[in-house]
Amino acid sequence: MTRCVDELLFHWPAVVKKAPEGFAKNFARSIAKQSRRRRWEPTEKQRRIMERFVADLFCPDDDAVIE
């Protein structure tokens, strides 16, 4: 399921809060900071990672990035 950027950003504070230390936490914080810029849009790679992180909030599995 593809979510719009606004929906991903709506859930992003929860992603930042639940992200484990390391890449996931650093990425989540970086996106939170970048998203405050006017007219900011994630790159295709950032968007795919964001979609995966938000999806993990709703249906976590054994291979989830966010625990």
Statement: residue 1 has pLDDT above 90:
no
Nearest to 56 by CA among 48, 46, 67, 47: 67
- Confidence class of residue 3 from pLDDT cuts 50, 70 and 90? confident
pTM of the model: 0.83
Q: Look at residue 52 in the predicted model and tell me its pLDDT.
A: 94
Domain map of the chain by residue range? 5-58
The percentage of the chain sitting over the pLDDT mark of 90, rounded to a whole number, equals 79
Statement: residue 67 has pLDDT above 60:
no
Structure tokens at 25: 């936490």
Q: Look at residue 26 in the predicted model and tell me its pLDDT.
A: 97
